[in-house]
Every structure is written in structure tokens, then in C-alpha cells.
Amino acid sequence: MLRRLGKGAAIAAVAMAGVALGAAPAHAADTGAYKDNFNGRGCDALVYVSDTTSSGKVEAFGGFNCAQSVRLIGTAVVTLIRDSKEVCHKTVNYSLVSTIDAACAVSDPGGNQKWYAKLRLVTSDTTGGVMLTTGKITS
């Protein structure tokens, strides 16, 4: 699910990632990117990178949420990048759904790495989808 905050901002609800938030490490960081109404039919997309959702891990998660009456067909790909190198990705094919999410995570080796995440949605509607990239976090 996506939840609105303020003027058009969207963040991931804990349910979207499928994880519970626990105590975060001292260097805890997260950031996201979103696109409201990416297809002109009221669907919102979001991608997030965080080292706060799972102890000792860095996670990328993202997806979209539409009104129940809007159904999409396509593919979602979430990718986690560390120091400009892909370290994991998750691909989800979907058919006639109003919401989808995908996530991947890796162990945080500590130190001073730069992490970011990408979401690519390919949809069968006229927009063709959307590509989102987060800012970088250091973990």
C-alpha cells in the first residue's frame, strides 16, 4: 500500500515491504523516490532503499498501488546497487492487479558503501510504465 503524506508525497507503508520495523542501527538511513499518478489512471509508484528494515541488511523495495478498479499487466523489477554495482534484483510479473510490490536485500558489510535502488515498471497501458531511482544512502 502507498500512503499519502502532505502534498502528493508517497511513502511505503510497512505492509508494502512485508517487514516490521525494528530498532535501527546508529547509522540508519533510508530514502525513496515516488511518482504520483504515473499512468494517468491514479496509480502511484514508489521505490525505497533502507538499512533500517532488517537488522544487518540493506533492502530495496518498491511497487505500485492503484484504485481497486484499475488493473494492470506487466513486469516490476527492483534493483539494489552498492557503489555503482548491482548486488541484487527481484522481478515480478503481474497480470490484472491493482497493487504489486517487490523487494531484495543483502547483508550490510559495514564500512562506508553508497547504496541506491531502482524500480522499473513495464505496463501494458499506454504509458508503457515508469523508471524511478532513489538518492544514495551511506551504510
Q: What is the pLDDT of residues 53-74, one digit of tens each?
A: 888 999 999 999 999 999 999 9
Q: How many other CB atoms sit within 10 Å of the CB of residue 47?
A: 29
Please say whether the beta carbons of 50 and 103 come within 8 A.
Answer: no
* Domains in the chain, number: 1
- Which residue range(s) make up the domain with 101? 2-138
pLDDT in tens, 104-132: 999 999 889 999 999 999 988 777 889 99
pTM of the model: 0.79
| Res 1 pLDDT > 60 | no
Look up the CATH number of the domain holding residue 120: 2.60.40
Lowest pLDDT segment from 18-22, 35-39, 67-71: 18-22
Cell numbers describing residue 5: 503524506
| Amino acid in position 45 | A
pLDDT value, residue 111 = 85
Cα 120 from Cα 92, distance rounded (Å): 11
